[in-house]
């Protein structure tokens, strides 16, 4: 059980946690890779969950070979992604609205902290209908080192004027969990996009299946 009264602020990850964006990226990457004669399985999607773009590119080269045309891949996958989201939109993860309502009712400060670049984060939020929802959005552009380094969460806590040790961080990826734990935050791991990662589960303070379960838990506290 988690009592929100024990925390000074709540910090959300974005991709795969608030928004179902990771599935849209992976679909576009798989479409593009297939057209270029390669296959990216779901296990690859799980391996890159929460990583910055440069780290994704590094793993792409390791997977597809050093001579893989990253420039062409990036251009084509971006086109596939835009076509897909313009057609289908970006879904907000189930339980987020209920959880945020509870946080607002308790007048807790909240923020978004994402490994995505600022332009991508704002575009995805707009496509999902959450353009003006978060009073504070911190991205990889705002810090020197992205997740799993603690910088993003330390910077977000400082902007909220909150002690990071009194912040509740909600994450869905092993990369994000590591960042939160490295920062010293209380971390809830919500592996709702991919199967649970044993190391992330061990590192985190609490594990729930999805935001629906988390909203129910905090409402009962």
Query: 32 is in which domain, residue-wise?
Result: 22-88
pLDDT at 54 over 90: no
- Residue of 75, 63, 71 whose CA lies nearest to 28: 75
Compute the mean pLDDT over every residue in the chain, rounded to the nearest whole number.
92
Q: Which of 56, 71, 88 is the last residue of a domain?
A: 88
149 and 164 fall within a common domain: yes
Q: How many domains does the chain have?
A: 2
Q: List active site positions.
A: 13, 15
Q: What's the number of CA atoms in the CB half-sphere (13 Å) around residue 85?
A: 25
More confident residue, 154 or 24: 154
Q: Which of 33, 58, 88 is the last residue of a domain?
A: 88
Give per-residue pLDDT as tens, 151-199.
999 999 999 999 999 999 999 999 999 999 999 999 999 996 777 889 9
114 and 173 fall within a common domain: yes
Q: Output the domain CATH number for residue 143.
A: 3.40.50.1000
137 and 214 fall within a common domain: yes
117 and 195 fall within a common domain: yes
75 and 161 fall within a common domain: no
Q: Tell me the pTM.
A: 0.84
11 and 105 fall within a common domain: yes
Q: What angle do CA 211, 27, 60 make, to 5 degrees?
A: 105
Sequence-distant (6+) residues with CB within 8 A of 105 are none
152 and 183 fall within a common domain: yes
Q: What sign results for the dihedral spanned by CA atoms 36, 38, 41, 44?
A: negative
């Amino acid at each position: 059980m988690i009592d929100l009264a024990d925390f000074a602020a709540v910090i959300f990850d974005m991709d795969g946690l608030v928004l179902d964006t990771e599935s849209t990226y992976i679909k576009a990457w798989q479409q593009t890779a297939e057209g270029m004669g390669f296959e990216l399985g779901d296990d690859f999607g799980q391996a890159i969950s929460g990583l910055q773009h440069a780290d994704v590119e590094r793993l792409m080269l390791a997977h597809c070979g050093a001579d893989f045309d990253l420039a062409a891949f990036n251009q084509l996958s971006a086109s596939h992604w835009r076509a897909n989201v313009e057609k289908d939109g970006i879904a907000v993860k189930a339980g987020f609205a209920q959880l945020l309502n509870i946080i607002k009712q308790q007048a807790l400060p909240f923020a978004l902290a994402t490994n995505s670049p600022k332009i991508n984060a704002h575009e995805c939020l707009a496509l999902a209908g959450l353009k003006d929802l978060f009073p504070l959005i911190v991205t990889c552009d705002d810090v020197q080192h992205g997740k799993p380094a603690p910088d993003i969460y330390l910077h977000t806590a400082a902007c909220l004027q909150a002690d990071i040790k009194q912040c509740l961080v909600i994450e869905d990826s092993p990369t994000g969990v590591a960042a939160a734990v490295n920062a010293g935050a209380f971390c809830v791991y919500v592996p709702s996009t991919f199967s649970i990662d044993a190391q992330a589960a061990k590192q985190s303070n609490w594990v729930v299946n999805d935001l629906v379960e988390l909203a129910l838990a905090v409402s009962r506290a």
